[in-house]
Structure 1
Amino acid sequence: MKFTFALYIFLLAGIVSVNAQVSSDSLYSEAYRPQYHFSPQKGWIGDPSGFIYYQGKYHMYWWGKVESTDLVHYNEITPFAMTGANSNIAYFTGSVLIDKDNSAGFGKDAYIAAYTAFEKDSKKQAQGISFSHDGKAFHYYEGNPVLDIWSTEFRDPTVFWHEPTQKWVMVVAKALEKKIKFYTSTDLKNWTWTSDFGPAGDHEKSWECPDLFQLPVDGDFNNKKWVMVVSINWAQEQYFIGDFDGTSFTLMDNHPDTPLYLDKGLDFYASRTFRDYDNTLKNTVSMGWVATWDYAQLVPSGYGKGFWSIPRNLNLKTYKEGIRLIQNPIEQLQTLRYKPFSIKRSLQVGIQNIPGFVPEENVYELDATFSTDTSNTFGFNLCTGDGRKVVISYDTDSHNLVIDRTHSADVAIPKFSRMTHALVEPIDNKIRFHIFVDKSSIELFTNDGKDVFTLLTYPNASQTGIELFAQKKGTNMELNAWMLKSIWK
């Protein structure tokens, strides 16, 4: 995670503690505060740094800690889970595991955090571990670092147990070399290098925050592939599909040379999957950081900086061009729905409001399906008001989807005004937009989740309008919409 130390200092200097005297009427009602995404009470949140499911709870760390039983409602435990390092060490991004058999000697079922230990004076990045018996307060291992190659660009370990080889595996980035390095261990303290992967795909600037996990192909649990996700260029994520034997990762046959991007929006980074230590979860779920390093420290939110995406179920699906990753919002989010609205209509030429669905705030869900068998360009204007809007536009001829937030924010944010686009193929002459709007962000899942777009928006409180537009006649639409309850009220 780039610049983590500077942000850690920001957290220490600017955070209001969990026990601070904050009015219940104002907490979680601040301008731009998301209402169904997780953000800490106060202060900075960056990369997800340890996602596990254990003893019936989801445990999530950013070196603060939050717990959840449903990934909809959250209980913030502490903003400071790490203790014991000397003042020259800062904790960078990493992961958490449960040492069920006491392989590290800290006790049976100990929580172990593996992370990058950053030396402030030398700028060196090495890998360290801390242990906990309650998952809330982690104690620094005095034998740290456990892995040190004397590099300033060696970071963000994901550690997990590989059952076939009966070893712990560490997946860690050599950032500016655009490589992922693999190490194995039996005790989490002594690590042996086994292989490197990369550069591959998009290797323009930097690689970091790797994750590696298995998914079934087309729902067949007897046919699984390994997926490696890598955060790139401090702005985006790409993924690779292949096989992992406990020591090295190899790409599947016919893997494209061109990058496979996890999210084609403007603000999604450093995602992590939950490791299931209860062996009871049916789905593999991930969450990412909704931010980009160009302006992460400059956004106008008053409660602090940063929040995490809605949780997403991950799967692999076979298409004509090959196997691809698909993402869809978890079904539990449907419990937040109220004021349901449905409409079927043929789009009119020009711009129209949606009669019957007029949100008072940008906290809602849209699920719209459009016909594409007639030549047209159509879409939504979201967060409209005061001359500002976010445009989601689709061209049926080119299959080009464009998202333009150039004039969306009500404040000036350096490097913020951008647009993005991608080719999105219709399915059976239809295109589906499943959209989640939450105060200062939009997440768009198209069709079955093959193409996903996440972006920050920062409209003011009066920018709550929704408009439909079309250049021509002949496009039919089916729309379902809901307001979404705040998880904090």
Structure 2
Amino acid sequence: MINFIQKLSLSAIIISISSNLYGQVDKEKYNPSYHFYPSGDPTGLFYKDGLYYNNWGTASSSDFVHWNLTESGLLRRKAFDPSLSQKVRDSIRNISRLGGSGTIVVDEKNTSGLGINGNPPLISFWHNDSEPWGNQVIGLAFSNDKAKTWTRYEKYPILDINSREFRDPKVFWHEPTNKWVMAIGWAEVAKIKFFSSSNLIDWEFMSDFGPYGAVEGVWECVDLFPLAIDNDPNNIKWVLSISVQPLSGQYFIGDFDGTRFTIDSEFAMDLKKDDYKPLGEVLFDFERGLDDWKMEGTAFIESPSSQALLYQGAVMGKEGLFFANSHHDRGRSTGKIISPVFRITKDHINFLAGGNHIPNDLSINLLVDEKIVRSQTGNNSGGLQWTGWNVSEFKGENARIEIVDKAPNGAILADHFLMCDDLALIAEREKAFWVDYGPDFFAVRAWNNYAKNEDRAVWIGWMGSWRYGGKEPVRGIQSIPRKVELKSFSEGVRLLQTPIKELQGLRGKHLTVAGETFEGIWNPKKLNPSKNSYELIVDFENIDADEFGIKIGVGNNQQTIIGYNISEEKLYVDRRDSGLDDFISLFPQINEGPLKNRSNHLRLHIFVDNCSVEVFANDGETVISSKIYPDPSSVGIELFSNLGEVKVNRLEMWELESITQ
């Protein structure tokens, strides 16, 4: 096999992400060993003639694990071959380029009429931005040579709803109603739209779903497929998933009749929440314009805005109709606005903030005596989120707020400044059923079709985050492939994810450690991996501790903590000291997800691969996926138990072989 990293130079392949995203130069020590890499969103996933295809048919595999570049992948790689002239490279890009992420279907019945010689064509659906306003529209291309070449269909676009937030189409054949179905996220209003077609070319609107669950982030990369509950083929439900920027994705369980997705009533009840807003005195809300604010420069000349500006992504989470927005001239302008003077009368000032994370250049500042005493930048997301300052030391003093944009690219967003007694509740995640509780599992998609003897649903996600995807050392890998199931619990039906069995074929050196009951720190000397590329299974039982877990990547003052808090019933991954993290201040963080203590037993199934860790707790009931950057020499493993004992019943580790040869 040709070197996998060389073969999958997907910077030349992935259409939806700039080639500059994958410059790895001096960061190769963090490159993954057994993940599909480099890659952006998993897209165009299909099966044909014994092989599974990834990323518009540019890579193929017989087992979801080992990948080879196809002819089209080899061709697209040439687009970045410096030995070729720029003219030749540009012509290759133009031939192979489709558009943003989407779907490939095998048109087995040739309903489109685009097949030849009795062979079913491949039909791809993708989105592009259209001029002059950047509306996102859906295009179609077809291939009669297994995705080696694509021909754009003469009708373009095939679908246009006059929206700048309409992308990532999912298309599949619905056998009971004998038609094609398309599902697309509509980010501006947190909805999913459904369309139908008999020929894949002409589409009719059927219904909307949403908003439900997490609605303050941008909805994109939808998927929809049926699953049996508890492996019972007579009890089928449909899983609808949607990625929510800038986090991971959420899922819904319900029924799909070919026209409308109906969420199960009990599932919907668990999603009900109270709309949160801090209690306080309104200082500025922009509902009457900029009032008496002073303006310098041109960045805020279109403020207050009621919606996203030209070539700005959807803005979610605003309070009322208007908000401050510096995205004038596509974010290229600079300037600031300064509020009238007000007196600080309470302990806290709370407000909504969003936009790009560029400290100092993009900021919301509190001025006292014309000096900056508090500052907040954006959060690298399309949503406005509550944040606030403790200003008790300045009570009784006069102050002003300035909102500053000194960045040549980017924008700062702000809304609804309140004087409050208490600090705003700062919640990273809304109440929802999250697919993954880590920061690095996005754009999840399942394969669109499978071999006849395959009864699993298998999906993968992009292990990255739009908050720092352009800055981190390894900027695009796909997760390990996961089997998706539905299981009944006392509280209802829930989605489970487990690593597919084919990953066991990568197992190499096997280490086992005898059980141990301990409190404090336990460092099994036998557990000494030679590299940060391994699979680990640990079973905890007879739990009498408040908190316990395992530390990986230990050494050089580095560690990643995977733990469980008994009283809060929460699983967490703490990467604040995991290794290299100075590329952006948003990276060091703790991520946690709910996990019930059902039987005083916890099983952790962990996959570590140089720059990533994926944690599957209790057979995939809760999953946390996170990028980490430990030094290659930081390979230590420790277990810990705080305020009580815990028994480790099973501890096994396999070093995993590289898929690079």
* TM-score, scaled relative to structure 1: 0.90
Asked if the contact 1:374/1:396 (under 8 Å) is kept, the reply is no
1:68 and 2:61 correspond: yes
- Please state how far the C-alpha of 1:423 moved relative to its aligned partner: 2.6
Q: Deviations over 1:34-76 (max 9, x none)?
A: 1111014xxxx21111111221111111x47211001121102
Give unmatched runs, 5+ long, in structure 2.
1-10, 80-90, 272-430
| TM-aligned CA distance change 1:485 to 1:421, over 3 Å | same
Other-structure match for 1:114 = 125
What is the distance in 2 between the residues matched to 1:406 and 1:194? 46
CA displacement, residues 315-349 of structure 1 (integer Å, 9 cap, x when unaligned): 10000000000010001111111221222333433
1:260 alignment counterpart: 433
Matching of residues 90-105 of structure 1 within 5 Å: 91-105=99-113
Pairwise mapping of residues 27-66 of structure 1 onto structure 2 (< 5 A)?
Answer: 30-40=28-38, 45-61=39-55, 63=56, 65-66=58-59
Task: Select which of 491, 497, 504 maps to 1:327.
Answer: 497
Please give the secondary structure, in 2, of the residue aligned with 1:359: coil
Structure-1 separation of matches of 2:259 and 2:489: 29
In the alignment, structure 1 residue 344 sits paired with structure 2 residue 514: yes
Equivalent residue number for residue 293 of structure 1: 466
Q: Which moved more, 1:465-474 or 1:384-393?
A: 465-474
Between the aligned partners of 2:567 and 2:50, the Cα distance in structure 1 is 48
Q: Which amino acid aligns with 1:264?
A: Y
Question: Aligned in 2, Cα 1:90/1:139: closer, same or farther, shift over 3 Å?
Answer: closer
For residue 407 of structure 1, the aligned residue among 577, 599, 614 is 577
Go from structure 1 to structure 2 and tell me whether the alpha carbon gap of 1:296 and 1:403 turns closer, same or farther (over 3 Å shift): same
Alignment correspondent of 2:160? 148
1:453, 1:14 → 2: CA distance? 24
C-alpha distance in 2 between matches for 1:93 and 1:400: 34
**In the TM superposition, what are the counterparts of 1:12-411 in structure 2 within 5 Å?**
12=19, 30-40=28-38, 45-61=39-55, 63=56, 65-77=58-70, 78=73, 80=76, 91-107=99-115, 108-119=119-130, 121-133=132-144, 134-255=146-267, 256-257=270-271, 258-276=431-449, 278-301=451-474, 305-411=475-581
Shift of the 371–96 alpha-carbon distance from structure 1 to 2, 3 Å rule, reads: same
SS at match of 1:361: coil
In structure 1, distance between residues paired with 2:528 and 2:543: 29
Alignment correspondent of 1:476: 647
Report the CA distance between 1:127 and its aligned residue: 0.6
Please state whether the residue corresponding to 1:281 is helix, strand or coil: coil
Query: Which ranges of structure 1 fall in alignment gaps of 5 or more residues?
Result: 17-25
User: Are the counterparts in 1 of residues 483 and 500 from structure 2 also a CA contact under 8 Å?
Assistant: yes
Instruction: Say what the alpha-carbon RMSD is for the aligned residues.
Output: 2.5
Query: In the alignment, does 2:625 pair up with 1:422?
Result: no
Q: Deviations over 1:241-281 (max 9, x none)?
A: 00001111001131121411100111100111112254331
Partner of 1:22: none
1:441 aligns with 612
Instruction: Tell which deviates more after alignment, 373-382 or 205-214.
Output: 373-382
Query: Do the aligned partners of 1:370 and 1:476 also contact (CA within 8 Å) in 2?
Result: yes
Are the aligned partners of 2:545 and 2:642 in contact in 1 as well (CA < 8 Å)?
A: no
For 2:171 and 2:594, locate their aligned partners in 1 and report how far apart those are by CA, in whole Å: 35
CA distance in 1, matches of 2:524, 2:143: 53
The 1:299–1:14 alpha-carbon spacing in structure 2 relative to 1, beyond 3 Å, is closer
**Which residue identity does 1:98 align to in structure 2?**
V
Kindly state the Cα deviation for residue 385 of structure 1 after the two structures are TM-superposed.
Answer: 1.6
**Judging changes above 3 Å, is the alpha-carbon distance between structure 1 residues 444 and 322 closer, same or farther for their aligned structure 2 residues?**
same
Task: Give the direction of change, closer, same or farther, for the CA distance of 1:185–1:85 in structure 2 (3 Å limit).
Answer: farther
Report SS of the residue matched to 1:357: coil
Superposed CA deviations along residues 128-171 of structure 1, whole A, max 9, x for unmatched, are 11111122322221211100112111111000000111110000
Contact 1:408–1:458 (CA<8 Å) still a contact in 2?
yes
In the alignment, is the contact (CA less than 8 A) between 2:45 and 2:57 conserved in 1? no
1:488 aligns with 2:660: yes
Q: What secondary structure, in the 3-state scheme, does the structure 2 residue paired with 1:150 have? A: coil
How far did 1:409 drift? 2.6
Percent identity between the aligned chains?
Answer: 38
Q: CA deviation at 1:472?
A: 4.1
2:502 aligns to what SS in structure 1?
Answer: helix
Kept after mapping to 2: 8 A contact 1:84/1:139: no
Counterpart-to-counterpart distance in 1, 2:450 and 2:643: 54
Cα deviation, 1:375-432, whole Å, max 9, x if unaligned, reads 3321111111211111112223332222110121324121211111123123422011
User: Taking structure 1 as reference, are residues 323 and 337 closer, same or farther at Cα in structure 2, changes over 3 Å only?
Assistant: same
Q: Secondary structure at the match of 1:31?
A: helix
Judge conservation of contact 2:593–2:624 (CA < 8 Å) in 1: no
Q: Aligned in 2, Cα 1:323/1:203: closer, same or farther, shift over 3 Å?
A: same
Taking the aligned partners of 1:243 and 1:164, their CA distance within structure 2 comes to 13
**1:196, CA displacement in angstroms?**
0.3
Q: Given residue 106 of structure 1, which amino acid in structure 2 is its aligned partner?
A: L
Following the alignment from structure 2 to structure 1, what is the Cα–Cα distance between the partners of residues 26 and 653? 24
Of Structure 1 and Structure 2, which has the larger fraction of its residues in strand? Answer: 1
Q: Find the residue that maps to 1:214 and give its secondary structure.
A: strand
Q: Secondary structure at the match of 1:208?
A: strand
- How far residue 10 of structure 1 moved from its aligned partner, in angstroms, is 6.4
Asked if 1 retains the 8 angstrom alpha-carbon contact of 2:17 and 2:40, the reply is no
Matched, 1:460 2:631: yes
Q: C-alpha distance in 1, partners of 2:127/2:31? A: 30
Which residue type is aligned with residue 601 of structure 2? Answer: K
2-structure distance, mates of 1:214, 1:248: 14
Alignment partner, residue 85 of structure 2 = none
* C-alpha distance in 2 between matches for 1:97 and 1:378: 46
Aligned residues of 1:90 and 1:120 also touching (Cα < 8 A): no
In the alignment, the residues of structure 1 paired with residue 98 and residue 506 of structure 2 have an alpha-carbon distance, to the nearest angstrom, of 38
Alpha-carbon shift at residue 33 of structure 1 (Å): 1.0
Give the conservation status (yes or no) of the 8 Å contact 2:16–2:99: no
What secondary structure does 1:310 align onto?
A: coil
1:327–1:277 CA distance, 2 compared to 1 (3 A): closer
Distance 2:227 2:68 in 1: 29
Give the structure with the higher percent helix. 2
